[in-house]
């Protein structure tokens, strides 16, 4: 990366546009940036950082800080423009932060959003080509080209010496934080955490498997009951010997259960034999009792059957008479049918005679039939009159239709005349509606352009007010976290100091009689130190340190949260402007109402145009309808006259035929009714004669059938008849009596029944009691055997389940042992990790070793070969982890000592060498992007003349790699030694940049 040109406007202390030509400075290779305190030396570096990353270095990006110059005129916008070459591409970055500007159409100020643009110089066309105006796209592009984030850039390119001086004196924990941020070793920390998670998961699986195995052991103990020789093994989950102990104990319980099941099976066989003998005796007693009861029951049934004999004889005689009467039944049914038909014919004959004229009341069937034929002949002569009457009715309908059409055409003519009279007013009103809707559409577009920004400002104002309270709460939490961190730090330092005061007693506690002392080497210990009251042990110091680290971590997280809230609040405040939520709500509501009203009116544009089109079409339709109605009126007059002439002739013809009835239809209906009544009366007279003859024949046949069946009269035969139900009932009673008599005779003939009746009464109760006792004994034996058998089966099943669980648990335990070993190794807690180094610390130690090697090259030159930096992974004592130690080797004494023992000047050039070495290593780590421009900020005032010359020689040697190095300092002696200078001059109107020396 090489800087070419920097333009600063209204930024920091610079009120007007100031430019820095880095191309001119790079010809000298080394230049000085100086000026009085507060003039703006660091602001130049801030401008470079802001141009690249859109933010100034973290230490100066405090909440509430504004980048705009207080000296800048109101109309001048804050802007940073940086031209540089990176990755072989020449780029120009222009950024404007969010800032206040005067309103264009009103008084007061409004907030202008942050703006960014990126351009690239095209060598072929010799012109700049725009690439992007997106903050995110520009940030991703610059980050990809540089290969560094903002924090790495500030450490590598701007070289803050104070940070590296603290780095030299810091402990391993603080060094680890800085190196971790620069080299991004989060993936190694993620590996540690992942292994720890795998270890916890595997441990959970092992413990879960052991819990399941112990659960099976408990079920084995419950299933075994009192048959187990001992209780389940007393082992905790996770114990490696748990599986073998459970399997051994289960085998013992299983063998005991087998023995008890065999004993219970033998007892069951004996009980079954005793129950079989008792069952045989009980069955014999029950059989004798059954036969005796059967004999007594048969005797009672025989007596009852003999008592019912007279009733059975009467039923048999009644059944025989009903069978004879069945031969007379068909003649009876025939006579009843003939009588019913004759009565129906007489009733119909009487009904038809009542409707005949008086002269025909006693007429016979032949006369009535002849009279009906004459009426039908008269009815046939009315067909022509009917057709005339129907045509007259049709003409009446047609004349009515003509009248309706005439009234409709008259209404059309009147309505058309009224509508056409107001046509001009209707057309003018429709055109006015169209013009009004077009004006409203223009107004709606203007209001829409104002409404969306107002809504965005309202949403930002609400976020601003909400975030203000959140920022206040976050500030209180940050103060509390800082207070806790400071308290924890002071506690740790106090305990550490107290421990160091009593370190002699701590060392003396480790002395063993006869073994050499670790300090003096003597095997004799005549007066070892004694621990004083309140002596601090290493565990207490480690606990205090851990508490301080947790508090400091919490403080950092709280500080980041506070910064994030403030940034969101600042962004919301910038977007919302000076207006309150109430003002913006009122403004948004007013604009929304006006926009809705205008949009509603504008939405009627199409409807207004459609209304005008419909009115014009209706105007044309009205004119056409009026002309058509006038044509139909003229044609209708001639048609009406023709119909009137035709109807007059038809009416005269109908009157001649209808006579007094009024119409041909009424006359025809009258004749049809007369002919139908005459025909019905003739038919009824013939039916009466036929049914009387059939009734006489049926009476003769019935008398003959009764005589032949043996009955004196037909009535006697009818009395002997029975229904099917009555006959089946008599037959069933007779059959049941016969069956009962046969069954009694068969049972009395059985030899066993006769013999049982002669024997003494059976004693079945005593036999049943003996059998019940044998049955209970068998049930008890069977229950005991079933329980023993189930216990044996259940113990076998649980034992197999325990064996399966042990087999499944084997690979899980092996996996847990392997993962736990790796997790402990990477976490630095394993005995195999002798230096107790975490994986992340190991990687950082390698990076620190590279940084120390790169820094030593320049440090030896600055110190005339006296000092060299070396990395140390020695343990620091106690339970602390090692790997990030840093020592300085003094060639004059040949000894290595801690970097914290360097003097002020030695610390400066050691930290400078460390910063330059770190810049080289981070550059290689980030992808090897070449850094041709570096800045070194302060620290030269602590050097003597000779050391200053050596340091400047080292910095001057950087030009061998075509680098341009800028030194930021107010040391007066550097102005004599570095001819190329950028001087920052300040006054009450703002600072200015002046180039001196070899810059041209």
Per-residue pLDDT of 855-895, as tens digits, reads 788 777 777 777 888 877 665 554 454 567 778 888 888 78
| Cα(452)–Cα(446) distance, integer angstroms | 11
Counting Cα atoms < 13 Å in the Cβ hemisphere of 163 gives 20
Of the candidates 986, 982, 990, which has an alpha carbon nearest to the alpha carbon of residue 24?
982
* Token code pair at residue 556: 């950092």
- 893: which 2 tokens? 């004494």
The pair of structure tokens assigned to 19 is 């430019």
Task: Give residue 94's pLDDT.
Answer: 94
Instruction: Give the model's pLDDT for residue 661.
Output: 58
pLDDT of residue 81: 95
Distance of alpha carbon 575 from alpha carbon 141, whole angstroms: 26
C-alpha 157/C-alpha 14 separation (Å) is 23
Residue 280 to residues 284, 399, 410, 770: CA-CA distances in angstroms? 6, 116, 121, 11
pTM for this entry: 0.40
**Highest-confidence segment of 170-184, 283-297, 537-551:** 537-551
pLDDT digits (tens, 9 = 90+) for 425-466: 887 887 778 878 777 777 777 777 788 888 888 888 888 888
- In our burial notation (b when 16+ CB lie closer than 10 A, e otherwise), range 234-262 reads ebeeeeeebbebbbebbeebbebbeebbe
DSSP type of residue 874: -
Q: Give the H or E element holding residue 481.
A: helix 423-501
Cβ neighbours for 650, distance < 8 A, ≥ 6 positions apart: 388, 389, 391, 392, 395
Percent composition of the chain: helix, strand, coil (DSSP 3-state, to 5): 70, 10, 20
- 8 Å CB contact between 503 and 535: no
* Residues facing residue 936 across a β-bridge: 967
Query: Which residue, among 92, 64, 164, has the nearest Cα to 899 in the 3D structure?
Result: 164
C-alpha to C-alpha distance for 652 and 658, rounded to whole angstroms: 10
Instruction: Residue 265: count other Cβ atoms within 10 Å of its Cβ.
Output: 14
How many angstroms separate the CA atoms of 761 and 752, rounded? 15
CB-based contact 242:235 (threshold 8 Å): yes
| Mean pLDDT of all residues in 670-683 | 74
> In sequence order, what DSSP letters do the residues of 179-228 get, joined into one string?
HHHHHT-HHHHHHHHHHHHHHHHHHHHHHHHHHHHHHHHHHHHHHHGGG-
For residue 413, name the pLDDT band (cuts at 50, 70, 90).
Answer: confident
| Count of CB atoms situated within 10 Å of the CB of 194 | 13
Residue 8 has pLDDT above 90, yes or no: yes
Confidence of residue 1000 (pLDDT cuts 50, 70, 90): very low
∠628-632-634 over CA atoms, to 5°?
Answer: 120
- Total Cβ atoms within 10 A of residue 694: 16
Q: How confident is the model at residue 108 (pLDDT cuts 50, 70, 90)?
A: confident
- Tokens coding 431: 């055109």
Residue 880 exposed, middle or buried by CB count within 10 Å (0-12, 13-18, 19+): middle
> Who's near 95: CB < 8 A, 6+ residues apart?
50, 51, 54, 79, 80, 114, 115, 116, 117
Q: What is the pLDDT of residue 928?
A: 46
Q: Phi and psi (nearest 5°) for 2?
A: -130, 130
Tokens describing residue 714:
């037909």
The neighbouring-strand residues paired with 995 are: 982
What is the pLDDT of the chain when averaged over all its residues? 77
> What does the pLDDT average to over 391-417?
79
| pLDDT confidence tier of residue 117, bands split at 50, 70 and 90 | very high
Dihedral angle, C-alpha 170, 176, 178, 184, nearest 10 °: 170
Cβ neighbours of 9 (radius 10 Å):
20
| Beta-sheet strand order (sheet of 867-872) | 867-872, 885-890, 895-898
179-193 burial: b if 16+ Cβ within 10 Å, else e: bbebbebeebbebbe
Q: Which residues contact 787 (CB under 8 A, 6 or more apart)?
A: 264
Backbone angles phi, psi at 586, to 5 degrees: -65, -45
In which band, very low, low, confident or very high, does the pLDDT at 999 lie, cut at 50, 70 and 90?
very low
Please state the rounded mean pLDDT for residues 498-506. Answer: 72
* Residues 152-200: tens digit of each pLDDT: 677 666 655 555 556 666 666 666 666 666 666 667 777 777 877 877 7
Phi first, then psi, for residue 89 (nearest 5°) are -120, 135
Contact 759, 292 (CB under 8 A): yes
Examine the pLDDT at 610 and tell me if it is beyond 90: no
Predicted pLDDT of residue 92: 93
| Residue 380's pLDDT band (cuts 50, 70, 90) | low
pLDDT at 91: 92
Alpha-carbon distance 645 to 655, whole Å?
16
Tokens of 840: 């992340």
Q: Is 910 left (phi over 0), alpha (psi -120 to 50) or beta?
A: alpha
Q: How many CB atoms lie within 10 A of CB 918?
A: 28
**Is residue 214 within 8 Å of 237, Cβ to Cβ?**
yes
How many CB atoms sit inside 10 A of residue 817's CB?
A: 13
Q: At what angle do helices 581-602 and 423-501 cross, to 10 degrees?
A: 150
């Amino acid at each position: 990366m090489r800087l070419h040109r920097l333009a600063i406007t209204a930024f920091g202390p610079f009120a007007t546009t100031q430019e820095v030509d880095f191309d001119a400075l790079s010809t000298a290779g080394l230049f000085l940036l100086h000026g009085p305190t507060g003039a703006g030396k660091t602001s130049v570096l801030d401008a470079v950082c802001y141009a690249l990353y859109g933010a100034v270095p973290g230490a100066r990006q405090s909440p509430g800080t504004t980048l705009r110059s207080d000296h800048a005129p109101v109309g001048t916008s804050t802007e940073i423009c940086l031209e540089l070459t990176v990755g072989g591409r020449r780029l120009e970055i222009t950024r404007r932060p969010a800032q206040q500007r005067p309103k264009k159409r009103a008084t007061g100020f409004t907030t202008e959003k942050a703006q960014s643009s990126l351009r690239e110089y095209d060598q072929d066309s010799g012109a700049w080509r725009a690439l992007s105006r997106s903050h995110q796209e520009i940030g991703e592009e610059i980050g990809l080209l540089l290969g560094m984030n903002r924090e790495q850039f500030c450490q590598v390119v701007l070289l803050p010496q104070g940070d590296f001086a603290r780095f030299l004196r810091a402990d391993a924990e603080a060094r680890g934080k800085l190196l971790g941020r620069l080299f991004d070793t989060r993936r190694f920390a993620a590996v540690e955490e992942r292994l720890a998670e795998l270890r916890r998961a595997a441990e959970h699986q092992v413990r879960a498997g052991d819990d399941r195995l112990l659960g099976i052991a408990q079920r084995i103990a419950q299933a075994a009951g009192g048959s187990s020789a001992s209780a389940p093994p007393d082992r905790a989950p996770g114990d490696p010997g748990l599986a073998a102990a459970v399997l051994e104990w289960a085998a013992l319980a299983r063998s005991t259960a087998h023995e008890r099941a065999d004993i219970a099976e033998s007892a069951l066989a004996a009980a079954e034999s005793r129950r079989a003998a008792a069952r045989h005796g009980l069955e014999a007693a029950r059989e004798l009792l059954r036969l005796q009861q059967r004999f007594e029951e048969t005797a009672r049934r025989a007596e009852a059957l003999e008592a019912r004999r007279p009733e059975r004889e009467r039923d048999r005689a009644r059944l025989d008479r009903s069978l004879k009467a069945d031969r007379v039944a068909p003649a009876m049914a025939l006579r009843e049918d003939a009588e019913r038909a004759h009565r129906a014919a007489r009733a119909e004959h009487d009904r038809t005679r009542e409707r005949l004229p008086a002269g025909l009341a006693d007429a016979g069937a032949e006369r009535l039939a002849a009279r009906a034929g004459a009426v039908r002949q008269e009815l046939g002569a009315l067909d022509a009159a009917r057709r005339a009457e129907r045509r007259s009715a049709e003409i009446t309908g047609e004349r009515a239709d003509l009248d309706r059409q005439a009234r409709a055409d008259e209404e059309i003519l009147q309505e058309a005349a009224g509508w056409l009279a107001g046509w001009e007013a209707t057309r003018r009103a429709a055109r006015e509606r169209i013009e009004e809707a077009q004006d409203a559409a223009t107004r709606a577009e203007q209001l829409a352009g104002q409404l969306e920004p107002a809504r965005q400002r309202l949403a930002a104002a609400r976020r601003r007010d909400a975030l203000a309270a959140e920022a206040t709460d976050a500030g209180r939490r940050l103060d509390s976290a800082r207070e806790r961190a400071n308290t924890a730090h002071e506690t740790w330092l106090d305990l550490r100091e107290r421990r160091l005061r009593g370190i002699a007693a701590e060392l003396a506690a480790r002395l063993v009689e006869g073994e050499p002392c670790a300090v003096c080497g003597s095997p004799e210990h005549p007066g070892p130190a004694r621990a004083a009251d309140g002596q601090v042990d290493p565990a207490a110091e480690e606990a205090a340190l851990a508490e301080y680290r947790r508090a400091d971590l919490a403080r950092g997280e709280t500080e980041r949260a506070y910064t994030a809230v403030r940034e969101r609040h600042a962004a919301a405040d910038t977007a919302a402007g000076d207006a309150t939520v109430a003002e913006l709500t009122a403004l948004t509501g007013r604009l929304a109402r006006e926009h809705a009203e205008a949009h509603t009116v504008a939405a009627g544009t199409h409807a207004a145009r459609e209304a005008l089109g419909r009115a014009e079409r209706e105007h044309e339709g009205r004119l056409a309808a009026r002309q058509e109605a006038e044509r139909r009126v003229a044609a209708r007059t001639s048609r009406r006259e023709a119909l009137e002439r035709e109807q007059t002739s038809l009416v005269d013809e109908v009157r001649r035929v209808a006579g007094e009835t009024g119409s041909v239809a009424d006359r025809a209906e009258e004749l049809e009714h007369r002919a139908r009544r005459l025909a019905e009366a003739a038919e009824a007279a013939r039916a009466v004669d036929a049914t009387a003859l059939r009734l006489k024949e049926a009476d003769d046949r019935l008398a003959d059938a009764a005589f032949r069946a043996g009955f004196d009269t037909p009535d006697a035969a009818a009395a002997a008849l029975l229904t099917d139900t009555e006959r089946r009932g008599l037959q069933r009673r007779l059959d049941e009596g016969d069956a009962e008599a046969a069954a009694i005779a068969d049972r009395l003939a059985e030899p066993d029944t006769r013999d049982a009746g002669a024997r003494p009464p059976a004693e079945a109760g005593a036999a049943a009691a003996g059998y019940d006792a044998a049955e209970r004994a068998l049930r008890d034996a069977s229950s005991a055997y079933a329980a023993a058998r189930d216990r044996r089966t259940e113990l076998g099943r649980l034992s197999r389940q325990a064996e399966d669980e042990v087999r499944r648990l084997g690979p899980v335990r092996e996996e847990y042992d392997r993962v736990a070993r790796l997790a402990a190794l990477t976490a630095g807690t394993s005995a195999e990790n002798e230096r107790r180094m975490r994986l992340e610390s190991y990687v950082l130690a390698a990076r620190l070793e590279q940084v120390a090697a790169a820094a030593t090259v320049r440090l030896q030159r600055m110190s005339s070969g006296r000092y060299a930096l070396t990395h140390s992974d020695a343990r620091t004592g106690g339970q602390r982890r090692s790997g990030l130690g840093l020592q300085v080797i003094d060639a004059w004494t040949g000894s290595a000592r801690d970097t914290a023992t360097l003097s002020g000047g030695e610390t400066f050039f050691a930290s400078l060498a460390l910063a330059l070495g770190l810049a080289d290593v981070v550059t290689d780590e980030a992808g090897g992007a070449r850094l041709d421009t570096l800045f070194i900020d302060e620290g030269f005032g602590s050097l003597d003349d000779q050391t200053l010359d050596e340091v400047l020689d080292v910095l001057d040697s950087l030009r061998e790699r075509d680098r341009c190095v800028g030194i930021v300092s107010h040391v007066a002696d550097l102005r004599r030694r570095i001819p190329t200078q950028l001087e920052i001059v300040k006054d009450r109107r703002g600072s200015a940049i002046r180039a001196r020396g070899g810059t041209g």
